[in-house]
Structure 1
């Protein structure tokens, strides 16, 4: 920002006290703005500093930007860009694209009794309320409680009614916040390093459009990545599949299913020893008895015996 004093031979000029009163700020604030190079030095007449209408307009612009949530450092950069000939509205467009809230959640307000009634099987005690306050989930105004997100409150109620303790949900919320903060910091670093770069070297209109397009892309990336992570967790938690018929068991030998059912394509069925034990023994015993018993004479032998002389 330029350190050259502003000279306005025409128009009203103010001493420092008069300028502070016209702008509605204390004199010490005006001096602080000068130290931060937010305000150019006055025109000097001897030991008296005289400020112009331009100084007053600058102070009113600073106050307006502060009301809109800008920091003093951000205002200094905006004014520096303005002095370099850039359109301040374009500069503000970039700033808006960067600082516009990402969240579109709808808050919900109720009494403390109504909040407690959402968790009929849980005691919403002072400790739980304090943790929710620390996490920024709720704000309390008298007997009214405002939860920052109706959707998140509904999700919490669903988990608790399914059997997850409220304290466990709040603990998971703390870990989720930490993970999301780290993820957001990574995205900010990527965009600041590779997209924004040096503002003075870029077309600010194109940069504003680029930043607007990056928002949904970043959100989709996070959503898709979380869905894929849940799929991996689900796959890891599934039990190992049972042995498939016709394949070897865990040790590489013949599986139980194969021994019981036999090979579908094989010519011989092999039953396990335990499965063929008792019936096999009964069959072997019966066979032995058949071998040991005397054979019945054939009819032709009996006929020959009757017709042969000398044999009765």
Structure 2
């Protein structure tokens, strides 16, 4: 327990509290010895990332209960309908197959902080198959995963601003029932503008 707490950067008292709340699974026991493994550490890092993103311990406990009861992963991860993003479950080995040597503790922590991945028992849940495939493709082209994740962090800030702009536009000029129907049009505008912006940048270079 002391070693796990030190690796996670928390106190033993906090770890005991998490165990009592059922936020981490029980250890494997051999006689009087309790053994913790990488899955426990990954769960603790998930908890830390969720706390940093504003979740309460009660909310995290609800997420944990939802995972264990088999509720839909998109609901557990807070994906709001409608969404085109398909979460995907991976074993640690499957994740390593995607990113090879770039699956480092630092990159896993960054992905947890971004909310790209979460742990569910012995599995890892990635929030978007499309993001997973694109990230893996960039890494295979020689872009370090750390750079991909940092780019994702910056893109998210701009994407949130764009989403806010179009949400206000639709609220001001469309009925609520039309918002879902007009959503693809907003995405098409962003896609076209990004394409033209890339063309301009590439010509400049």
Q: 1:186 to 1:152 in 2, by over 3 A?
A: same
Q: Name the residue aligned to 1:229.
A: 197
Indicate yes or no: 2:115 matched with 1:136.
yes
Give the Cα separation in 2 of the matches to 1:125 and 1:228: 35
Q: 1:190 to 1:208 in 2, by over 3 A?
A: closer
Give the Cα separation in 2 of the matches to 1:107 and 1:115: 14
Contact 2:99–2:136 (Cα < 8 Å) also in 1: yes
Q: Name the residue aligned to 2:42.
A: none
Indicate yes or no: 2:87 matched with 1:107.
yes
Q: 1:140 to 1:235 in 2, by over 3 A?
A: same
Q: Name the residue aligned to 1:191.
A: 170
SS at match of 1:180: helix
SS at match of 2:99: coil
Q: Name the residue aligned to 1:119.
A: 99
Runs of 4+ in 1 over 6 A off after TM superposition: none
1:109 offset after TM fit, Å? 0.7
Give the Cα separation in 1 of the matches to 2:86 and 2:123: 16
> Which structure: greater helix fraction?
2
Contact 2:118–2:125 (Cα < 8 Å) also in 1: yes
Q: Name the residue aligned to 1:218.
A: 186
Q: Name the residue aligned to 1:170.
A: 149
Give the Cα separation in 2 of the matches to 1:208 and 1:180: 21
Query: Among residues 139, 152, 156, which one is paired with 2:131 in the alignment?
Result: 152
Give the Cα separation in 1 of the matches to 2:190 and 2:108: 29
- Larger RCO (CA within 8 A; separation ≥ 6): 2
Q: 1:231 to 1:133 in 2, by over 3 A?
A: same
1:162 offset after TM fit, Å? 0.9
Q: Name the residue aligned to 1:53.
A: none
1:203-214 alignment to 2 at 5 Å? 207-214=175-182
Give the Cα separation in 2 of the matches to 1:234 and 1:179: 20
| Structure 1 residues not aligned, in runs of 5+ | 1-98, 197-206, 238-312
SS at match of 1:228: helix
Per-residue CA distance 1:9-43 (angstroms, 9 max, x = gap): xxxxxxxxxxxxxxxxxxxxxxxxxxxxxxxxxxx
Contact 2:116–2:127 (Cα < 8 Å) also in 1: yes
The structure whose Rg is larger is: 1
* TM-score of the aligned structures, taking structure 2 as reference length: 0.57
Q: 1:165 to 1:100 in 2, by over 3 A?
A: closer
| Structure 2 residues not aligned, in runs of 5+ | 1-78
1:236 offset after TM fit, Å? 0.9
Q: 1:130 to 1:217 in 2, by over 3 A?
A: same
Per-residue CA distance 1:256-277 (angstroms, 9 max, x = gap): xxxxxxxxxxxxxxxxxxxxxx
